[in-house]
């Protein structure tokens, strides 16, 4: 789809450019916040998988312009480099590597975060099962990192794809958070399996000290958290069921733009430039090779 048709077909894409957001994803976080008041009282924030940075822009505006919070601090992490954003420390790092956790902790000087979000999406291979597996691993990595850095009482929000075994994830999360909700913002295409888990009031087992180590499996990591085991759950007062169906909430104004609809542009019709071009996109090398005439088509 060309730039012009995308501007017409996806009004969130166009609105993002009009309002100065680097990506249309900004509206997803804004609509989640409208529904759940996620930003109330937050100071220390971690934005995982943050590039090109529209969620960090939303968080920066909230902390520094709306709340005028002198103690506000935002750390944004992505594999890709990010163009600077006011008040946001950007780390080019892999969220699946334990060293990344240490880098974030160093930035916070030992303090814990009130809010961690992850909009992570791996590069798709086109092999459905493999893509689903890699996405699930990325969410687990985000969750592991979150358990090491989130304050009790804090909030975790992450993108998920509602695949076959998603209820197991809800179940695991229910052992760690008081409330787990599956939310679908209006700006997230209805035709996509994408949704967001909103996990409120972090309450890990008090004796559990999560520790990220390179050669530790996810199972070993959560061993003492007793996720999915009922014997140590008295303090959580949860039912013994292993599978949990999270409440599903559609959020955002129903009269607002439909992300699956095609609109006719009223008035101004010019195609707007993106706010922030990718700093180092994966296709950069291919474009350079094409310019040099070094990209040849296989006959
Ligand atoms: C949909 S984009 C995020 C958009 C962002 N929330 C925004 O509003 O601009 C997904 C991002 O996940 C990042 N990502 C995927 N795997 C990652 C990993 N292991 N560590 C860090 N970032 C990762 C990608 O580089 C990509 O920038």
Query: Considering the chain, what is the average pLDDT of its residues?
Result: 87
Model confidence at 231, pLDDT cuts 50, 70, 90, reads very low
- Give pLDDT, residue 130: 84
Give CA 182 to chain center in angstroms: 13
Return the best residue to mutate from 24, 26, 51, 138 for the ligand 1 pocket (most ligand atoms within 8 A of CB): 51
Is 116 in contact with 46 (CB distance < 8 Å)?
yes
159 noted as active-site residue: yes
| Measured distance CA(186)–CA(288) in Å, rounded | 37
pLDDT tens digits along 48-67: 999 999 999 999 999 999 99
CA of 206 to the centre of ligand 1 (A): 31
- Give pLDDT, residue 8: 58
- Give pLDDT, residue 246: 82
Out of 12-16, 183-187, 234-238, give the one with best mean pLDDT: 183-187
- Give pLDDT, residue 77: 98
CA of 231 to the centre of ligand 1 (A): 37
Provide the residue ranges of all domains of the chain, joining segments of one domain with +: 3-291
Burial of 84 (0-12, 13-18, 19+ CB in 10 A): exposed
Model confidence at 236, pLDDT cuts 50, 70, 90, reads very low
Residue 49 falls in which region: left (phi positive, over 0), alpha (psi -120 to 50) or beta: left
The correct CATH number of 3-291 out of 3.40.50.300, 3.40.50.720, 2.40.30.10, 3.40.50.150 is 3.40.50.150
pLDDT tens digits along 67-97: 999 999 999 999 999 999 999 999 999 999 9
Instruction: Output 156 or 259, whichever has higher pLDDT.
Output: 156
Model confidence at 163, pLDDT cuts 50, 70, 90, reads confident
- Give pLDDT, residue 141: 95
Residue 3 confidence (pLDDT) above 70? no
Find out whether the beta carbon of 55 lies less than 6 Å from any atom of ligand 1.
Answer: yes
Over range 97-112, report the average pLDDT.
96
pLDDT tens digits along 125-139: 888 788 888 888 999
Is 97 in contact with 213 (CB distance < 8 Å)?
no
Residue ranges for the binding site for S-adenosyl-L-methionine?
A: 53, 55, 78, 94, 119
Share of the chain above pLDDT 70, in %: 89
- CB within 8 Å of 250: residues ≥ 6 apart: 183, 184, 185, 186
Beta bridge partners of residue 118, listed in sequence order: 48, 158
Identify the residue whose C-alpha is closest to ligand 1 atom 13: 49
SS3 labels along 17-56: HHHCCCCCCHHHHHHHHHHHCCCCCCCEEEEECCCCCHHH
Residue 230 confidence (pLDDT) above 50? no
Share of the chain above pLDDT 90, in %: 54
Is 115 in contact with 131 (CB distance < 8 Å)?
no
Instruction: Output 71 or 261, whichever has higher pLDDT.
Output: 71
Is 123 in contact with 282 (CB distance < 8 Å)?
yes
Residue 241 confidence (pLDDT) above 60? no
| Measured distance CA(13)–CA(218) in Å, rounded | 36
- Give pLDDT, residue 232: 42
Find out whether the beta carbon of 120 lies less than 6 Å from any atom of ligand 1.
Answer: yes
Return the best residue to mutate from 21, 115, 117, 120 for the ligand 1 pocket (most ligand atoms within 8 A of CB): 120
Please calculate the CA angle 282-134-94 and round it to the nearest 5 degrees: 55
How, if at all, do strands 194-202 and 150-161 pair?
A: antiparallel
Instruction: Output 295 or 16, whichever has higher pLDDT.
Output: 16
Is 174 in contact with 200 (CB distance < 8 Å)?
no
């Amino acid at each position: 789809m060309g730039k012009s048709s995308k501007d017409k077909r996806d009004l969130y894409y166009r609105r993002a450019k009009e309002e100065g957001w680097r990506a249309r994803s900004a509206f997803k976080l804004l609509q989640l916040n409208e529904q759940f008041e996620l930003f109330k009282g937050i100071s220390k924030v971690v934005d995982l998988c943050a590039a090109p940075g529209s969620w960090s822009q939303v968080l920066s505006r909230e902390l520094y312009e709306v709340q005028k919070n002198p103690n506000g601090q935002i750390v944004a992490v992505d594999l890709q480099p990010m163009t600077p954003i006011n008040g946001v420390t950007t780390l080019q790092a892999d969220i699946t590597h334990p060293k990344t956790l240490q880098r974030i902790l160093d930035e916070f000087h030992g303090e814990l975060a009130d809010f961690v979000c992850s909009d992570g999406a791996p590069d798709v291979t086109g092999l459905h099962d493999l893509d689903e597996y890699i996405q699930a691993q990325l969410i687990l990595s985000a969750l592991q990192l979150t358990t090491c850095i989130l304050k009790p009482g804090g909030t975790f929000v992450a993108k998920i794809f509602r695949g076959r075994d998603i209820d197991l994830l809800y179940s695991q999360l229910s052992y760690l958070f008081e409330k787990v909700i599956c939310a679908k913002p209006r700006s997230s295409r209805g035709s996509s399996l994408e949704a967001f888990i909103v996990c409120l009031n972090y309450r890990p087992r008090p004796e559990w000290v999560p520790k990220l180590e390179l050669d530790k499996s996810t199972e070993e990591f959560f061993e003492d958290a007793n996720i999915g085991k009922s014997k140590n759950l008295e303090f959580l007062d949860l039912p013994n069921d292993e599978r949990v169906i999270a409440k599903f909430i559609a959020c955002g104004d129903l009269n607002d733009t439909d992300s699956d609809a095609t609109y006719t542009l009223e008035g101004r019709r010019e195609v707007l430039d993106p706010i922030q071009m990718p700093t180092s996109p994966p296709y950069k090398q291919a474009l350079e090779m094409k310019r040099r005439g070094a990209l040849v088509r296989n006959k």
